């Protein structure tokens, strides 16, 4: 990030804009005056993601392409943990994460938990949207959704095809910069199209054979909603892990575990085999869902594995002011 220190070409006058789509080195940028431009990144070191604020200019007057010279400091960023233990930005400058699950494909609640934890560590609010409700909601899904609501998450049931529609979602998006995340085929792009028809995002039936989505969306794209708020559609995932804080802080990504941990005998309790563990007591009593506890324990084991494999690469995510 930052402006190139040395450059052979003179830097033209710069304007500020926002990346609304990023295809590697090629970006779509909306200028502060509303103009939309195709841009290239200057040099090899700059990396931009959807939502980044940038400084751009025209090195060749009259050229249809502009050049991005600088990425402005990111505020809240959704990142993912790479297989090499690094943190990779997915979208920048968001305020809200919308985790989308649906009747089909069968929800992977562990992925939802990891997105919720990632949102907590990134300092963004998180909301769970359950789409395709007109197809019905299985008892298992209803129990999971009730569990999230009991923890304190907003849960919105919706459908792009029939009642209950998307009205409840609209009000949660106003005034926010939100990103739609989740498994492929849950209807993220369909929700975007329902909210901003001019987006004309490509959607595709899920596979009949595997009942999985086809990874239709290939890059994140930001749209301004007439109903208020900015919405980023993102590619569906098979799996997701957020950059992890220190193992002793992983509980902070699970609101109910963090709350119960206040009652643990030891302040640095990992809720493993320590005596006087309030979290395990609440799991046994059914006050904390065992599946959520399993989710927490899984992230602790991933954290330990990464500590062992990449001690030099572990960097706790920056705390949000």
The contact set with ligand GTP (CB under 6 A) reads 131-132, 134-135, 159-161, 184-190, 203-206, 213-217, 235-236
Pick between residue 160 and residue 176 the one whose CB is nearest to ligand GTP: 160
Backbone angles phi, psi at 155, to 5 degrees: -125, 125
Pick between residue 238 and residue 248 the one whose CB is nearest to ligand GTP: 238
Least separation in angstroms between residue 47's CB and ligand GTP is 23
Return all residues near 114 (Cβ < 8 A) that are at least 6 apart. 240, 241, 242, 295, 299
| Residue labelled with tokens 């609209």 | 170
What gap in Å lies between CA 214 and CA 208, rounded to an integer?
A: 10
Least separation in angstroms between residue 26's CB and Mg ion is 20
290 burial (CB, 10 Å; 0-12 / 13-18 / 19+) is exposed
Return all residues near 297 (Cβ < 8 A) that are at least 6 apart. none
- The region of 112-120, 132-140, 149-157, 274-282 touching Zn ion under the rule CB under 5 A is 274-282
Closest listed residue to residue 317, CA positions, set 4, 78, 41? 78
Q: Which DSSP string corresponds to 5-49?
A: S--SSPPPP-EEEEEEEEETTEEEEEETTS-EEEEEESTTT----
What gap in Å lies between CA 191 and CA 32, rounded to an integer?
A: 26
Pick between residue 77 and residue 186 the one whose CB is nearest to ligand GTP: 186
Binding partner selected for residue 277 from Zn ion, Mg ion, ligand GTP, none, CB under the kind-specific 5 to 8 Å limit: Zn ion
Q: Rule CB under 5 A: choose which of 217, 243, 255, 296 binds Mg ion.
A: 217
Least separation in angstroms between residue 170's CB and ligand GTP is 15
Binding partner selected for residue 190 from Mg ion, Zn ion, ligand GTP, none, CB under the kind-specific 5 to 8 Å limit: ligand GTP
Backbone angles phi, psi at 11, to 5 degrees: -85, 125
Pick between residue 163 and residue 312 the one whose CB is nearest to ligand GTP: 163
Residue whose CB is nearest to ligand GTP in the complex, by number? 236
Site string for Mg ion, 157-196 (x = CB under 5 A): -------------------------------xx-------
Pick between residue 93 and residue 189 the one whose CB is nearest to Mg ion: 189
Q: Are 128 and 119 in contact (CB under 8 A)?
A: no
- The count of chain residues that interact with Mg ion, using the rule CB under 5 A, is 4
Least separation in angstroms between residue 285's CB and Zn ion is 14
Pick between residue 71 and residue 279 the one whose CB is nearest to Zn ion: 279
Would you tell me which residues interact with Zn ion (CB under 5 A)? 264, 269, 271, 277, 279
């Amino acid at each position: 990030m930052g402006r190139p220190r040395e450059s052979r070409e003179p830097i033209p006058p710069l304007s500020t804009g926002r990346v609304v789509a990023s295809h590697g080195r090629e970006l779509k940028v909306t200028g502060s005056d509303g103009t939309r431009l195709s841009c290239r990144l200057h040099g090899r070191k700059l990396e931009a993601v959807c939502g980044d604020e940038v400084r751009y200019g025209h090195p060749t007057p009259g050229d249809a392409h502009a050049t991005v010279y600088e990425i402005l400091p990111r505020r809240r960023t959704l990142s993912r943990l790479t297989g090499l233990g690094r943190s990779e930005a997915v979208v920048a400058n968001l305020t809200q994460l919308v985790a989308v699950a649906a009747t089909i494909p069968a929800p992977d609640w562990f992925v939802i938990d990891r997105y919720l934890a990632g949102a907590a560590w990134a300092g963004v609010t998180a909301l769970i949207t359950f789409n395709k409700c007109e197809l019905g909601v299985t008892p298992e899904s209803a129990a999971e959704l009730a569990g999230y609501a009991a923890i304190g998450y907003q849960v919105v049931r919706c459908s792009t095809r029939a009642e209950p529609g998307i009205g409840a979602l609209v009000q949660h998006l106003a005034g926010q910069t939100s990103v739609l995340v989740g498994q492929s085929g849950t209807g993220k792009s369909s929700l975007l199209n329902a909210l901003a028809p001019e987006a004309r995002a490509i959607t595709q039936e899920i596979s009949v054979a595997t009942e999985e989505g086809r990874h239709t969306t290939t890059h994140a794209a930001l749209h301004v909603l007439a109903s208020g708020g900015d919405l980023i559609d993102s590619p569906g995932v098979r799996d997701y892990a957020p950059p992890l804080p220190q193992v002793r802080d992983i509980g902070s990504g699970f609101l109910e575990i963090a709350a119960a941990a206040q009652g643990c005998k030891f302040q640095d309790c990992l809720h493993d085999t320590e005596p006087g563990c309030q979290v395990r007591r609440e799991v046994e009593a059914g006050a904390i869902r065992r599946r959520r506890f399993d989710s927490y324990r899984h992230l602790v084991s991933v954290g330990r594995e990464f500590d062992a494999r990449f001690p030099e690469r572990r960097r706790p995510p920056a705390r949000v002011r």
